[in-house]
Structure 1
Amino acid sequence: MGATKPGAKVVVANWGVGFVDAQRRAFFDPFEKETGIKVLIGGTPDLAKFKAQLASGTTDIDLSDLATGWIGPAEAAGLFAKIDRNIVDVSGLPSDAVRENALSYFTGGGGLAFSTDRYGQSKPAPTIWEDFWNVSRFPGRRALYARPVDTLEIALLADGVKPRELYPLDVERAFRSLDKIKPHIKTWYTTGAQPPQLIQSNDIDFAHAFHNRVFSAVSAGAKIAVSPHQNLLARVWTAPLAKSPNPEEAQRLLAFMLRPDRQAEWAKLQAVVPAVPAAMPLVDPNVMKSLPDPAAPDTIMSDISWWGPRLDDLNARFKEWLIT
């Protein structure tokens, strides 16, 4: 690894406010201080944009977070550069967190969220997805993510499919289940920041929400909880883009993000499970209580190998279903 060049920088794409603030504290600011390499934010991840830029031969992003299901199509399209193992030490990662062109740097996800101000012992909240679908027993305003990933799994859980029997997804059954709940969904949200905001502002009562977003909201004083049951988790991936302007700097940032101390700080700030097992003993015990449990018997781990070849078609179908 060479010395830092004058004016060196790396441009990253990530998931915006809240998420980027935590990334700055856990990764970007200490990386800048240690290496002198400036970390710039280049907007949110956009697979279509990345494909168009690669086709044009010019890419302005060096390193990008990835949505569930993107890895297969993106690898097939040649969007990613290889992980440089002379720079990035992957020996501390589980084998299923490492691909030739991408790395998982944490496990995160979401579950059924509700207001602890409005629901509690005297007024029970739904705790599993069958409850969420049961509008007579649990009346209230509902929100779901306007995308097929997670939402199809939720629909099948609501229809009685057991968590360990979800994959391969029965897509037709999932859409039939969604047809039942669709009239009762007040908000189809499009960003992970929305559900805690909507619950806190009393615009909705129940929603699928990401643990890290809820954790951030609760840390700021919001009265929200996520049911521990039927959580939907996934390894969250990042990848260096092919033909990027700052390839070595991207690899160096990747290596830095895998350091156990940085992984533990990331877990503290986002209530996520570190990808590097050596980070777990460093995680604040109070934060550990808020982490989702990948080993819980009713936890679902997203199957990216199932989603990869189907994502584009199901995205298109889901968008059409929403407007019909």
Structure 2
Amino acid sequence: MTSVSRSRIALAGVSITAAALLLAGCSAGGGTASPSASSSGSAEDTAPVSLTFVGYGGVGQDAMIKYYQQPYMAQHPNVTFVNTSPPDVAQVQAQVQAGSIQQDIVATSPAAAQQGCGTIFEPLDLSSVDQKNLVPQTVGKCYIGNFINASPFAYRTDAFPDPSKAPKTLADFFNTKKFPGKRGMLTNLQNGILEYPLLADGVKPDKLYPLDIDRSLKKLDSIRNDTIFAPNVGVLQQDVASGQVDMFMLADSRDVPLLDSGTKITIVWDKTVASINAFAVPKGDPKAKAAEAFLASAVANPAAVTGISETLGVAPVNLATKPVLSANAKKLQVYNKTVNPGTTVLQDVAWYTKNFTLATQKLNAWLAG
């Protein structure tokens, strides 16, 4: 997906206890104006600048255009955005090594950004961001968080129409004899592909890290022939919508549009893996200051973060928000104990920062095996 977005009109491990506080903040308000973004990042510089924004596509990126980019362009008429998807750290690395940066803002995991901090991704000066209302781990040396993303276990209701005979635990996802059918999992580490096998295998949430990668892959072996391993959320969302998979772990921001489109799915609230979705800037980007200014303004703006949360049904990283969620988005509130009586595990950024390359290499080798 590639599009040019241009507007001059503004549009309107952490415990589950901490996550539950996400919707208990003050009423959303407008953010403070930030310095004009330009190729140099100078407040006085109003030269035209185009920022290439690489997101995950779909309704999620549409929401970022509406709530982050369009209001920013209304305040900074010299700034425009080119939107494309999906993000690829290897592609960013290749651009950095070639000295030819073609992307300015890239959606990624905090761990990927931190591990590549100073080599693949640019250290950011986010000192202007008021962090008092931000969830812990939202701001790192080379990233800033966008929202909390969860990938709960769910199944197509038409595949298991009798609730008494439907999957009820993570262990059921891995029990192909009792629950036959095609599975779907995302290969992105951020969506719990290594955590879910261990949780299903009996590892307690508070004992999950450090991850036993080999044990996790061994558990995945048991469902290899019954599972579609999707490279991104868009592919898996389509697989669910078309009936190619019966049960799956898909990002909550993609579960909501499935429900909105009439696809009947049932969430299994057992143990759910969540992570912070983040933005980073490629190392050596000549427009780094302009990208930095945009990110500082967007994520620190409660009104923008509220809009993202309301549209996608995800947990905001800014506590100064009080989203009014749609009926379907309310069904995906992993941080609401009334909705989710199970356990939510927020990924350990520190562990992934140290082990991201190893985990990626082992997972990729297994997928290719």
**Normalized against structure 1, the TM-score is what?**
0.89
Unaligned runs of 5+ in 1: none
CA deviations on 1:175-200 (whole Å, 9 max, x unpaired) are: 22122222322x11111123332222
Separation (CA, whole Å) in 1 of partners of 2:355 and 2:152:
23
**Conserved 8 A contact 1:97-1:235:** yes
**Conserved 8 A contact 2:110-2:140:** no
Match of 1:29 in 2: 70
State how 1:195-210 maps to structure 2 within 5 Å.
Answer: 195-210=236-251
SS at match of 1:105: strand
* RMSD (CA atoms): 2.4
Identity across matched positions, percent: 21
**Conserved 8 A contact 1:82-1:102:** yes
Match of 1:320 in 2: 365
1:164 aligned to which of 206, 231, 235: 206
**Conserved 8 A contact 1:157-1:163:** yes
The amino acid that maps onto 1:308 is T
Match of 2:312 in 1: 270
Q: Is 2:187 the counterpart of 1:146? A: yes
1:62 aligned to which of 100, 104, 126: 104
Question: How far did 1:113 drift?
Answer: 1.7
The amino acid that maps onto 1:146 is T
1:75 aligned to which of 102, 117, 120: 117
Change in 2 beyond 3 A, CA 1:171/1:132: same
Change in 2 beyond 3 A, CA 1:225/1:23: farther
Unaligned runs of 5+ in 2: 1-34, 36-42
Change in 2 beyond 3 A, CA 1:183/1:53: closer
1:308 aligned to which of 353, 361, 365: 353
The amino acid that maps onto 2:309 is A
Question: How far did 1:112 drift?
Answer: 1.0
Separation (CA, whole Å) in 1 of partners of 2:49 and 2:70:
14
Separation (CA, whole Å) in 2 of partners of 1:177 and 1:76:
35
Change in 2 beyond 3 A, CA 1:49/1:194: closer
**Conserved 8 A contact 2:195-2:211:** yes
Change in 2 beyond 3 A, CA 1:297/1:221: closer
**Conserved 8 A contact 1:200-1:223:** no
Greater alpha carbon shift after TM alignment, 204-213 vs 176-185: 176-185
**Conserved 8 A contact 1:200-1:224:** no
Aligned residues: 321
Separation (CA, whole Å) in 2 of partners of 1:257 and 1:98:
10
CA deviations on 1:44-99 (whole Å, 9 max, x unpaired) are: 3222232233333332222211136302321152621322424x443432342122
**Conserved 8 A contact 1:112-1:231:** yes
State how 1:144-293 maps to structure 2 within 5 Å.
Answer: 144-147=185-188, 150-185=192-227, 187-254=228-295, 255-279=297-321, 281-284=322-325, 286=327, 287-293=329-335
Match of 1:38 in 2: 80
Greater alpha carbon shift after TM alignment, 299-308 vs 175-184: 175-184
